[in-house]
Structure 1
Amino acid sequence: MIYHPRLNEQGQKHPIYKPHTPSELKSWGDASSIVTATPDCDMSAGINGKALTSGVMPETREQWEEWAGCYDFEEPDFVLSKGMKEAAGAVVIEDDGRVWVVSPSNEFGGYANTVPKGRTKGVLSLRATALKEVFEEAGLMIELTGFLVDADRTSTRTRYYLARRIGGNPAEMCWESQAVHLVPSQQLETFVTSEFDAPVISALRCHLKAQAAEVKPKVATALDWKTLPFGRDVMGWAINRNFGARQFANLRLGMIPHSDDDKWFAYFSGNVLHMYRSWTGHYFFRVYFIPQEEGAIATVAEANLDREYFEGTEEKAKTLLMDMLDYFATDVAHKLY
């Protein structure tokens, strides 16, 4: 018998009858893949430039409410349906557009996969409950970004918020979950199949569609940021990486930082992508593309390994570049989802 490494509320070992298999570490960076974490499995160091590290769980009601009070957005009054209990949860959207989903241990409540949520139990506010449930069930620390929808379930009326990950580690899920997944939003309907989750996914679809209609991203140019010369300690290597038409179109938008969290500035000149660190203006990468009928091929890359700005290995530089190219090629990087 396999037991969850975390004890249940009674302080007992909790059996897992049909355990999941964790995904390979390298697959976590593939925005088109469904990936799975299991309790205490090995995890990638980070996703989309954000580290996966142990979160710090608040210990008191006051601490949860203080965290919940950090977010300034409007939401409608919560109207509790007759006979229903109050609950809250969050749809956590990763920076590459995938959504965090949990598998309740032994399909508790009849759910193979669902969105993190739980009852307020008259103790916490709706926002604090959403934060707490995501932390416990998915191991993630999140930032609430807005209201999504209210939906009735079997015994609860649940308020769902939109959120993004700011910390935590899915492998540290509590005993209530036996797996945590990252699922491309296009595949949610086939992965989260409960009828009670359908209104949540439908509301998410409407949100993403409306957001995409509002966004008209600016194409970056060399004049949009203060930058430094390329430097002398240059390493070049072959890439031969294909990008589809939509991916290449996203890459050609470049990247203009809008906050301190945006660590890169990038723009195209001809068929060359120039990439800089936004804080320092350090000219880090140059990538050469050959356009195709459908997209383009990245053929050669060059990295500036000047030790004044970069202390990592050559392999680290190569990995960093590919991670950033994969991210810049997504709709999420340019808020087109």
Structure 2
Amino acid sequence: MWLFTKFGFFSVVSKDDDDQLTVRSRTKGDLDRLRNHYLPSLSPSRAHEGTDYPWRATTSPTALGEAMRDIAQDIDYANFKDEIAFSLGKDRAKRYGKIWSALYDMPDDLNELHPEGFEGLPWQQSAVTGKAMAYGGVVIDPNGYLLMREVKNHFDGYVWTFAKGRQDKGESPRQTALREVREEMGIDATILSAIPGEFAGGTTITRFFLMLTDRGAPDLTFGNRETERLIWATPEEAKRLIAQSTNSKGRQRDLAILQTALALLPAEPPLKRAMAHRTDWQSKFMPAARLMVPLETRYSLQEMATIIRGFVPTAIEEKWFIFYEDGVLHCHRSWTGICIFRVHFKPCDSGWQAWQVQINRHPGQYTATDEREDLALLDSIIEHLLIHGS
């Protein structure tokens, strides 16, 4: 790790199997300032001439983490380059400026997964009718309970329903659905999967996403000009709540949405094994050193429901943490959080198809090199841990 601060520049690495971190610097003064003001437990500086970093010292990861917290709390400047000129001098500011210039037009060359538009969605890009398009979310907690919203003043005959609304200019379907959930329920949810089908209302055709949020995330007293309050409900309770709507067409539509959304779950809520969420366990990003392999494996809707659930380990012997987000299955080693596989799915005629997998090839994270063995391992994980897991 390179660390640029207003008092010095450092390179932090782990040497061999040492449990200490080595903090390296081009000047002794930088290490002295780090030790004197933020990291008193830093070892004495030692010279290491003839290398890229002539000075170095050691510290524990915990101590460095605490020091970095204090360094962050001391950020009191609006422009880093200007602050370097005042704190370390104009010569150092010029050196840092060259680094800034070299990185100025850096492309986004290692994209994280941010699906947009209609990528991996089971709908046509444009509606086949003259009605306007709307998008929304059916929000569940990890055990499959449904978050319902009571409509303010029971507008248009709706009593309890889901969050939904029309697109703003330039929005993708996902952006619209997430925004409507945020505006009408007060939460930021995570998309699990698109819900197949289109649901006609009086003036719109609505498409929905199945979304996940933590049980404690919503404020059930949340209210605004569109929402009176929220409630968690079992499927049967949700049916009774929807049945209170006097808008007959809207009532039938919401019941159909509920039924279709529940078909994406592996079992009737409450789920015996909870849906996995990214924040349930440690996870590291997929490195650029990766292998991309095309796939043609197909899964039924019921099999896909068990895949979407993911897997959270409960014992040290369980080696995997797996979660699903918007068309991608993320498979991490539970002990280290290292991402080994990322599997991409898309809808197909018979259900869903795994069409591509990214396999970690960072030699410091994953030592396997045989593509066939990797694919066999992935198949075993999906088949035995997810589809046929308890």
Q: Does the alignment reach a TM-score above 0.5?
A: no
Report the TM-score when normalising by structure 2.
0.38
- Greater RCO structure (CA 8 Å; 6+ sep): 1
